[in-house]
Homo-oligomer: A and B are copies of this chain.
């Protein structure tokens, strides 16, 4: 770390001056890029700040600069990759325009699509978590055992804890699901809350005259 000393000193002063020279030229950007190049899962701002030894605020601002930079809104050309915030952290992705090119290069079969039953079960778990298998089954009115197993095997859901009384396992979604959906947190799920709060009871006034 000793050879980074000058960088470490140089950086905070630039930030103190509020913006002007935060430019991607800052060594902080380089250090962030170095980390981004080696991670194999999204890295959150706090973890990233700890890794590069800079304040979170500075890291956040530099990330924004890098996003712009890669998108061609900086001084250089647009890049073939982009920086996305997905599943609770930042990660380098091939720019969408080039996905078909890369797909052709890596070959490989498209991952098997989830069945409609699996999708619906996944939706129930995402919105109702923590939720037991039998609760999911009663919402869907079908046995969901094998579907839950598929979702577990794919790492889209996980066992959270066992109910202290019944011992029934409660399930929830994983960060991997967020990544597969391309969203950053469960807050980004489309809202359907009015229907979910209490199932039966809340409907009396609204639905039945």
Contact = CB atoms under 8 A, between A and B. Distances in A.
Interface string A64-100: 0000010010111111110000000000101101101
A38 interface: yes
Chain A interface mostly helix, strand, loop or mixed? helix
A102 B35 contact: yes
Interface residues of A, number: 64
Contacts of A104: 1, 51
Interface of A: 1, 3-4, 7, 10-11, 23-27, 29-38, 40, 51-52, 69, 72, 74-81, 92, 94-95, 97-98, 100-102, 104-106, 108-109, 111-112, 115, 117, 120, 134, 140-143, 145-146, 149-150, 153-155
11 contacts: A10-B77, A24-B77, A26-B77, A30-B80, A32-B80, A33-B81, A34-B95, A34-B98, A37-B81, A76-B76, A76-B77
